[in-house]
Chain A
């Protein structure tokens, strides 16, 4: 069985602060994919990143960066210099390499205050 845990239910920061969203996962698969999605108040899910379990290199995209630690089964997401527009619910998700079934975490509500 697969499981994704996002222990932080809500996080509130002030604009320009850095913030890290935690994600811990459980799977028996040796190969799998990890994802982060953003859900703004309007409801749609925006794809942010996909990471293959074989690739443990950290990735940076603008103000976003992701730290994949296979040894601790974590895939944390950091927003640098947060902005009000970053306010949203962020979901971490996991899927097996051989299938499409996405297992989502419970989500972290991020509020960035001006």
Chain B
């Protein structure tokens, strides 16, 4: 079946560091990928929609200069948390939609747990 790989699975780093998270679709091409953020015991909140070959679409309240998204190919989207601070500590999870149809379900990566000291 469709597989989405996310790397790294866990990051612990100092405040002020920039962190890059990769999201890959392993056996299918994903023109659209999604980035979510999840705080402990809370739901997933969509941060942005990543479109291959174009700029990402950010949700209201998400700083695009803070969370840089690049979707350079049909199988890879990256999220870079720039100058991370403790309040950026969270669980970040990406998803990719199999196929172009809007009725296709999103398949999720394993998530990245980011801890900023």
Contact B103 A43 (CB under 8 A): no
Using a CB–CB cutoff of 8 Å, the interface residues on chain A facing chain B are 33, 35, 37, 42-47, 50, 52, 91, 95-102, 104-107, 109
B102 engages A91 (CB within 8 Å): no
Assess the A50–B44 pair: CB atoms within 8 A: no
Give chain A residues whose Cβ lies under 8 Å from the Cβ of B67. none
User: What B residues does A43 contact at CB under 8 A?
Assistant: 91, 93, 110-111, 113
- List A contacts of B105 (CB < 8 A): 33, 35, 47, 50
Contacts of A101 in B (CB 8 A): 46, 49
Whole-angstrom CA separation of A101 from B36 in the bound complex: 11
B43, B91, B109: most-surrounded residue (chain A CB, <10 A) = B43
Which A residues lie within 8 Å of B108 (CB)? 37, 44-47
Closest to A48 in B: B105
Residues of B within 8 A of A (CB): 32, 34, 41-46, 49, 91, 93, 95, 97, 102-103, 105-111, 113
CA of A107 to CA of B95, assembled, Å: 18
- Across the two chains, which residue of chain B brings its CB closest to A101? B46
Neighbouring A residues of B45 by C-beta, 8 Å: 104
Q: Indicate if the CB atoms of B93 and A45 lie closer than 8 Å.
A: yes
- Can you show 8 pairs from A to B with CB atoms below 8 A apart? A44-B110, A44-B111, A45-B44, A47-B107, A47-B108, A99-B102, A100-B49, A102-B95
Neighbouring B residues of A44 by C-beta, 8 Å: 93, 108-111
Q: Shortest beta-carbon distance, A66 to chain B, in Å?
A: 14
Q: Which A residues are CB-close (under 8 A) to B49?
A: 100-101
For the complex of A and B, list the 3 residue pairs with the smallest distance between their C-beta atoms, beginning with the closest: A45-B108, A44-B110, A43-B111
CB <8 Å contact, B106 and A102:
yes
Contacts of A106 in B (CB 8 A): 42-43
How many angstroms between the C-alpha atoms of A100 and B97 in the bound complex? 8
Is B43's CB under 8 angstroms from A91's CB?
A: yes
